[in-house]
Structure 1
Amino acid sequence: MGSEEEKEAEYHSKDFEWEEVREEVEKDPSLSHHSIPFTTATSSTSNSYDDFFSEPWKSFHKRHSSGRFFKERRYLLKEFPELLSCGDFSKVLEVGCGNGSTVLPILRTKALEKAREMVDAVLGLSIKHRFHAFFCDFSVNGFPSWLFCDACQKTYPKRPDCLADVEVNNEASPSELSSLQGAMCCIGGVDFVTLIFTLSAVPFQRMPPVITECISVLKPGGLLLFRDYGLYDMTMLRFQPNKRVGFREYVRSDGTHSYFFSLDTVRELFLGAGFIELELEYCCVKSVNRRSGKDMRRVWVHAKFQKPI
């Protein structure tokens, strides 16, 4: 067994070619249901949002409220080194923070409580004042205007961004901060948006407005960092035909939802919202199941997009 550093370095290697997996899957008759068009008359969008999508995730968070189910995803700093080299006053909007491990799709109250607990428990780091968790069902209502209001988007960068600096430095008294918040309408946008295993939990029909929301809160030149399930990932191939709720959309036994992305779909979604493509590729990683000893071929989509300047 290698060191933790070696494991992290190996995590992002190209262990196999995606085209090899695609060829195997498309030649296997038992897996043909993953490629055929979705023709069932009853679509997931015909159900109410709360019943079909929201409630299963809420139950999921309750079952895993201890946080032990999730591992801290330190590899993201290797995958997206921009997060390490950003300035002292840079603002990052993590969409779907879950319990703080950056893997859960839609923010729920239980997950937010756990995220706050984990941040409060960090030793040796003064970061409490730099972390703000808030509930937002962004696939339905969009992001709050205090992130980047319409008026400030039109006048950026003329408007000074002093409120955000005060929040990060934590130098203002409560009364001074309250006064500033009353005088300023928003924080002037964010420098980074992360969508890490979040968009796949959103119904496909709702993805375009979600991405539009993401670009709207980014400053010009800001980056969106994306990682999610890729087409023909091992978990996709385990779904039986009766678990399909759309083309490349599936529902798990616990009712939670998942979509699997191709590069073309990701490109179409983000460029359609006005982003510029910087990086887009499949991340193909082979790991071993410790219990069964079987090889597992994981496929994720890695991408970086930029808001035009």
Structure 2
Amino acid sequence: MFEEISAPVEGVTEKVVLKETKPPLDSRIGKDAPFQFGQRVLADDNDVWNHNAWDHAEWGEEQKVEAETLISKQYENPVEEFDKKLYNGNPAKYWDIFYKNNKENFFKDRKWLQIEFPVLYEATKADAPPVTILEIGCGAGNTMFPVMSQNENPNFRIIGADYSKNAVQLVKNSASYNPEIAHACVWDLSNENLELPETVEPESVDIIIMVFVFSALAPEQWVHAVNNLQKILKPGGQILFRDYGRYDLAQVRFKKGRLLDDNFYIRGDGTRVYFFTEEELRDIFGKFFQEERVATDRRLLVNRKKQLKMYRIWMQAVFKKPLEN
């Protein structure tokens, strides 16, 4: 099993580390031993300081009010209008710089996808039907390569598309890149001309993966992105989605000079990030897609030394394109 451990720092793009986990042993109670994903639930508040992380964290009015209070202070010092135009005018520039500064060894393979989205790995089985997978925001290939490494399907194809040319080059330069079944290309998900990624035909993709991708778009770009998604996806095809949720620790920690717009921020490296609610996701994707699952993944992180409680909140969803429009 794998657990997603995140260490957000205000103004710095979040680095995600994947830690292999095993079922808990009684002798490990009170220690930070690995544990089975999703099984550490806080049943008694008196036990909160026993571990560094708790799954399925309860979220009450007290936590919401505290988060809203901190976020309200961000409105006192938003991003200056000149800088806002600068960041929104050429967002690809900052992602290019990010991938130039952070090579492929900075990122960890997202093997947790096998737990969260098993349909990806079902598509790699030897007896699986022909399948085409498109990962949007492929980065350095940390979703593509774990999936490819398990493939036994002779009719398997995966395409990685990213806003950043430097990210795409990292994928192509990797020893794991196999052009016989994979293709990587530069592509803007939010382009207004309905231009599709290289080698991708209309309604030709069975599965679209978007992990921490949609949050990089400005709200006015969402409509263009969804138009492109519905043009690409086959009837019956699925979108696998994971991204940042409203009141996540990363949002609450932003200080002055980072707020671009409501729930939309600029990090210290110039990249943008939005924090979603379930209702927003239903509004964004509901025009073209059926909701298979929309959920909020909350985790309570604990700093036992400082006696601090910190909440991580992610949105996870699966949308399906109807067989008939």
1:19 equivalent in structure 2: 59
User: Alpha-carbon deviations, 1:246-270, whole Å to 9, x = none?
Assistant: 1100001111100000111111000
In the alignment, does 2:296 pair up with 1:259? no
- CA pair 208-13 structure 1, distance change in 2 beyond 3 A: farther
Relative to structure 1, the CA distance from residue 88 to residue 269 in structure 2 (aligned partners, 3 Å threshold; closer, same or farther) is: same
Q: Give the 3-state SS of the residue equivalent to 1:129 in structure 2.
A: coil
1:282 alignment partner AA: T
Seq. identity, %: 28
Say whether residues 1:286 and 2:324 are aligned partners.
Answer: no
Q: How does 1:1-309 map to 2 (within 5 A)?
A: 4-6=20-22, 9-10=36-37, 15-17=55-57, 19-20=59-60, 23-27=62-66, 30-33=69-72, 42=81, 46-47=85-86, 49-51=88-90, 53-65=91-103, 67-86=104-123, 87-102=128-143, 106-118=162-174, 120-121=175-176, 127-140=178-191, 141=193, 142-144=195-197, 146-149=199-202, 189-272=204-287, 274-287=288-301, 296-309=310-323
Q: Residue 58 and residue 41 in structure 1: after superposition, are their counterparts in 2 closer, same or farther (change >3 A)?
A: closer
* Structural RMSD (CA): 3.5
Aligned residue pairs total 261
More strand by share: 2
- Is the Cα contact below 8 Å between 1:57 and 1:106 reproduced in 2? no
AA at the equivalent of 1:111: A
Point out where structure 2 has 5 or more consecutive residues left out of the alignment: 3-18, 23-33, 42-54, 145-159
Instruction: Provide the secondary structure at the position in 1 that maps to 2:257.
Output: helix
Contact 1:8 1:75 in 2 (8 A): no
Distance 1:251 1:75, change over 3 A: same
Given that 2:206 and 2:237 are in contact with CA atoms closer than 8 Å, whether structure 1 keeps it comes out as yes
Contact 1:220–1:308 under 8 Å retained in 2: yes
Once the two structures are superposed, what CA deviation does each residue of 1:62-102 show, in whole Å capped at 9, x if it has no partner? 1102x222111100111001111123520100001011124
Query: What are the superposed Cα offsets for residues 191-226 of structure 1, whole Å, 9 maximum, x if unpaired?
Result: 000111001011111012102211211110000000
Give the TM-score normalised by structure 2: 0.69
Q: Shift in Å at residue 39 of structure 1?
A: 9.2
The normalised TM-score by structure 1 is 0.73
Q: Cα offset for 1:121?
A: 3.6
Amino acid at match of 1:275: F
Say if 2:78 and 2:257, in contact at 8 Å, map to a contact too: no
| 3-state SS in 2 of match to 1:10 | coil
Shift of residue 138, structure 1, vs aligned partner = 2.2
**Gap change, CA 1:23 and 1:136, over 3 Å in 2:** same
